[in-house]
A and B are shown apart, each in its own frame.
Chain A
Amino acid sequence: MTDEQLQTAIRASVSTDPPPVSDLVAGGLARGRALRRRRHLTGALAAVALIAVSTATATALTGDDESNPIAGDPNASASAEPAGPCRSDVQTKVLPEWARAGFSDPTPSVPHVMGDQGNIVAILFGGTLHSPPSDEVNNKILWVAPTGADPGGSLEIQAVLAGTSQHASREVPGGPGPSTIDLPATGCWHLELTWGEQPDQQDTMDLDYVRP
């Protein structure tokens, strides 16, 4: 069977009856409106949380200010999300194939956390993340994604400490790659990761920071 025959067969295999266009369009519109409502609600909650954080004198750190210690009680602000079990699932099994570039071992088993959508992986070189940073092992994270950032883009990280309204934001220039991510408190941080506009350039994950 030649490649040309296979290619012809692929084209032929996709012939179908016409889909229910009006139903699909109506369904798409409904999903789009629901998505837009969720994003507006998330934005409103974030705005309320920022106001609560500023009045409680907690500091939302930016990527170029990683050395400031915590100011104020991280648990004093109104909760933005309920505290629950941290979903930070540190795996030690072999990395997925798309994340192995650069490792001399063809089947590297290193501590890592997979994004909830499977679009990015956080490889934890120190194994455990600490807040404040440990003197012995830094919080080095190698971010790897099958789809990189757009040219000139970066990986933007918005982190919220579970059970609080404490926020932190970080940026990795150039997109997914090596970074040191220090966060201002121990606990379970929920991360929203964005490195482009397409669905596979966004993801979420929980990371657990413990005392050294």
Chain B
Amino acid sequence: MDTAEFTEFAVARTPTLFRTAYALTGDWYRAEDLVQEALGRIYVKWSRVSRADDPAAYARTTLVRLFISDRRRRSSTERPTADLGADEQVPDDDVSLRLTVLSALAQLGPIDRAALVLRYYEDLDAASTADLLGTTPEAVRTRCRRALARLRDVLGDNLTDLRSN
């Protein structure tokens, strides 16, 4: 077991994994917990993961599937809140936007949330998203369409100042 090699991989991937975890959970501390749990699972299988074609993709798959599995175990009444945690340097004019969207995302089911994050934050295509979620590309497109509609309903008319790239 090459711990140094694993550590190098983990240091390189953790920022990206954390942002994905934060998008999925909407909570800084849950994102930290999810990332550490995923890294722990990857460490156990490192000798195999390190030989995979795409260890980064394996890490992302582990993270997302852990999130979905954990959400299924938790109470269906539990709703995470969008919480910036220790964040103290966010540009003020973006705070309400981020909180509103994160809060709306948090109201979706875990798989809907995962599908939107993978498609529109990770920029995965429908086929890659389908592989990760264990479904078909068409099912992913349908799920994303419905999840966006649900997001639109949740956000309502409150969001009037969306910033575009």
Q: Would you mind naming 5 contact pairs between A and B with Cβ atoms under 8 Å apart?
A: A7-B148, A12-B101, A20-B32, A31-B37, A116-B73
Count of interface residues, chain A, beta-carbon cutoff 8 Å: 44
| 3 nearest A-B residue pairs (beta carbon) | A28-B39, A32-B43, A31-B40
* B101 near A1: Cβ-Cβ < 8 Å: no
The reply to whether B15 and A18 contact each other, CB–CB distance below 8 Å, is: yes
**A199 engages B66 (CB within 8 Å):** yes
Q: Which B residues fall within an 8 A CB radius of A? A: 3, 6-7, 10-11, 14-15, 18-20, 22-23, 28, 31-32, 35-46, 61-62, 65-66, 68-69, 72-73, 84, 86-90, 94, 97-98, 101-102, 105, 116-117, 120-121, 134, 148, 151-152, 155, 159, 162-165
Q: Pick the residue among B37, B116, B134 that contacts A148 (CB under 8 A).
A: B134
Q: Are B101 and A13 in contact (CB under 8 A)?
A: yes
CA distance A9 to B102 in the complex (A): 9
Given A24-B35, A147-B65 in contact, is the A17-B72 Cβ separation under 8 Å? no
CB pair B69–A13 under 8 Å, yes or no, is no
Q: How would you classify the secondary structure of chain A's contact residues: helix, strand, loop or mixed? A: helix
B162 shortest CB reach to chain A, Å: 5
Which residue from A1, A17, A30, A119 sits with its C-beta under 8 Å from B155?
Answer: A1
What is the interface of chain B mostly: helix, strand, loop, or mixed? helix
Q: Judge if A146 is at the interface, Cβ distance under 8 Å.
A: yes
Contact of A6 among B38, B39, B97, B151 (CB under 8 A): B151
- Say if the beta carbon of A55 comes within 8 Å of chain B: no
Q: Which residue of B lies closest to A9 (CB)?
A: B101
Chain B residues whose C-beta falls within 8 Å of the C-beta of A148 in the assembled complex: 134
A131 CA to B118 CA, complexed, in Å? 46
Query: Which residue of B is nearest A11, CB measured?
Result: B121
Q: Which residue of B lies closest to A119 (CB)?
A: B69
Contact between A16 and B19 (Cβ–Cβ < 8 Å)? yes
Q: A9-B159, A10-B101, A28-B36 are in contact. Are A199 and B41 (CB under 8 A)?
A: yes
Q: Are B18 and A200 in contact (CB under 8 A)?
A: no
> Closest Cβ of chain A: how far from B108's Cβ, in Å?
11
Question: With A17-B89, A148-B134 in contact, do A8 and B69 touch (Cβ < 8 Å)?
Answer: no
Chain B residues with Cβ below 8 Å from A7 are: 120, 148
CB–CB B152/A11 < 8 A: no
Whole-angstrom CA separation of A15 from B97 in the bound complex: 11
Q: Residue A14 at the B interface, CB < 8 A?
A: yes
Bitwise interface map of A from 1 to 45 toward B, beta carbon under 8 Å scored 1, else 0: 101011111111111111111101101111111111001000000
